[in-house]
Amino acid sequence: MPIKFSVSLVRGLRSPGASHLGQYVRQRREAMGLNRGQLAARIGYRNLTKGIRRIMNLESYGACREEFLREVQRILGLDDEQVRLAIRQDRLAEPVSEPSDGNMRCGIIVGNKMLSFLPSAQPEAGEPTEDQLTDPEKGIEVTVDGQHVAGKVKFLHPCEFSLIMTVPYPGLVVSSLHIPWFAAAACRVYAKGGMLTKRGLLTARELLEQAYRAESRRRNLTYLQDTYRIDLNGLRLAYAEVRRTALLDTIHLSDEEFEMRKKALKRLRNAGELAPREYWREEGRLSDQLGLLTPAEYRTETMALRRQFRAGKIDSRTLQKRRHLLWKRYINYSCKGSQVWDEFCRQCGTRWGISEEDLKTFRNDILGRTASEDVW
């Protein structure tokens, strides 16, 4: 009877090697006199490094896919009943050995990857424990530099939440980082049963403090002039100059030129004059030279392609090829925008000593856009 074990969810593992299944596999492998490389070769891995890594994950954390465990069981002759017992013990998350440092660790493993491995924080004196929940209806309050800052929960979920500030900047909305669903079981979530946890409460206070400081700097029109002896218009002109230089240095290839040069590269590769690694490097450079496409233009062009396909004017292969080119041009736009902003921050730090944090605060004002627009 096959054993179904495709995803291992581990809670409260005290240290690597605390998996019952992993200990059983390692004991059987060592009893047969096999190292991990030999076992990976018997399983059928050509890439032994990949096989060794998966075996190490299985032995350390008890994480593997169903077909991988079936192969290991066949080669090592593992007993079905003992494997099922080990899996059941791992799912109950009963630690096998005490850690040397006394710190509890908790993690989550999906497939053969450790996605999160976080130390559990010990509550400090005077702080609420994890079991103490806070009613979000009471609101969140914090004092920043003598200023009373308050807000209320706008949206609450165990994996994320958002706040709306009521004092001193009403209507300002801030959001927390998102906890992925696959890590929520092993991490301390923001809310339980519609109530804020300790982590949720502390995160909400930090968000209010950060939002207040950033908004105060942004609303202080003389902050840049008083601190760095430059106003907002000066930064806008400097950014425009950096952007103009970046656009002049960019080579824009049309789709036809790109396809023609790509075919020439393929002919060189097929003739053996170009190694595969060099071919992919040159194709990447060609992709970087494609034109730029803004997000709005990308959506418009993609919808136009779909309409042409539905009308029967182009086939599926042409649709796929053109969409791939549009995507590359959009990625070039995003990368170019990041490069321009990084170069602008570097020049501002060199010329005026402006910190990147302050530039990030005034970013939308410098770019002349609202927060919802995605243009550079």
302-325 per-position pLDDT tens digit: 899 989 999 999 898 888 888 888
Q: What digits encode the pLDDT tens for the residues 104-161?
A: 333 333 333 333 333 334 444 444 454 578 888 888 999 998 899 999 998 888 888 8
Return the bridge partners of 192, or none. 195
The mean pLDDT value of the chain amounts to 76
Q: Is the dihedral of CA 104, 108, 111, 112 positive or negative?
A: negative
DSSP label of 190: S
Domain ranges of the chain: 20-119, 136-219, 232-250+291-367
d(Cα 163, Cα 180) in Å, to the nearest integer?
19
How many angstroms separate the CA atoms of 210 and 120, rounded?
25
Residue 131, pLDDT score: 53
- In terms of DSSP H, where are the helices of the chain? 20-31, 36-43, 48-61, 66-76, 80-91, 198-219, 223-228, 232-249, 255-270, 276-288, 295-310, 316-351, 356-361, 363-367
Q: What is the CATH number of domain 20-119?
A: 1.10.260
Take residue 45 and report the two structure tokens written for it: 């891995």
Q: Higher model confidence: residue 58 or residue 221?
A: 58
Query: Which tokens is 255 given?
Result: 């789709």
pLDDT tens-digit map of 176-215: 877 766 566 556 688 888 888 888 888 899 889 988 988 8
335/77 Cα distance (integer angstroms): 52
Phi/psi zone of residue 126: left (φ > 0), alpha (ψ -120 to 50 degrees), beta?
left
Strand partners, 163: 153, 174
**Model's pTM, two decimal places?**
0.43
Most confident of 54-63, 161-170, 176-185, 255-264: 161-170
Q: H-helix or E-strand containing 160? A: strand 160-167
